[in-house]
Structure 1
């Protein structure tokens, strides 16, 4: 159960993509993230910020081998996203062609949600559970 002490989301997961521009379009169309900023030329995305309408968001970019210590494998990302209307989001995601890997369900800790895989292979779990209050 959550209450007023449950903090707003402020963790910004990051990921890399083989086709970052296509992934951005998918995340906007299927899951409702908002494109805030995209920097790069042509097919290469140096940095993109997508906002989740209920708070927080993600950052992503094109996969590259530039010697950076921040090397992430495309398709190796997974996260849980709090959503207040999982049934509507499920319908939106399936209509946009998301691969559902866990159908809509209720958990024993009071969450309602589902899980999907995006075209890059990343895993996305959506549910109503907002976490436990922070003392």
Structure 2
């Protein structure tokens, strides 16, 4: 395989205030709002794209026994790849300025990545860094 396939795994999360979370993820972390469906305060479905590829899907929490996807707000965690160490540091400053709860400032790992960690207003955990994963086995 000569190139990485387009992302086909979409992490999903739910939010108490999905519209506010969307604004935060765009402003603080740099996601791009691709589509948002819903009326008023309710978000039925939203897709936020990451500039380097992939993204997340999210919606408003549903307080119903019939909910077929009962993910609780604040239980999500993701590692997001950033272009390089300078971009990690710039994103860290952007996130801090936007009010992100930084849980670990930029640091270097023993496997060569440069990362930082934060929580969004819903309590979800985010880690941003330069580690792109190991190559696929052929």
Q: TM-score under structure 2 normalisation?
A: 0.91
Aligned to 2:70: 71
Task: Check conservation: 1:15, 1:77, Cα contact below 8 A.
Answer: yes
Tell me how far apart the structure 1 counterparts of residues 7 and 110 of structure 2 sit (CA, whole Å): 23
Q: Give structure 2 stretches of 5+ with no counterpart.
A: none
Tell me how far apart the structure 1 counterparts of residues 5 and 103 of structure 2 sit (CA, whole Å): 28
Q: Partner of 1:74: helix, strand, or coil?
A: coil
1:22-73 deviations in Å (ceiling 9; x for gaps)? 0000000000000000000000000000000000000000000341221100
Tell me how far apart the structure 2 counterparts of residues 68 and 9 of structure 1 sit (CA, whole Å): 26
Task: Check conservation: 1:10, 1:55, Cα contact below 8 A.
Answer: no
Aligned to 1:20: 18
Residue 99 (structure 1) aligned with residue 105 (structure 2) = no
Q: Give structure 1 stretches of 5+ with no counterpart.
A: none
Q: Shift of residue 12 of structure 1?
A: 1.1
Q: Shift of residue 103 of structure 1?
A: 1.1
2:116 to 114, 117, 122: 114
Aligned to 1:87: 89
Q: TM-score under structure 1 normalisation?
A: 0.93
Task: Check conservation: 1:34, 1:51, Cα contact below 8 A.
Answer: yes
RMSD (Å) for aligned C-alpha atoms: 1.4
2:126 to 99, 103, 124: 124
Residues paired across the two proteins, number: 132
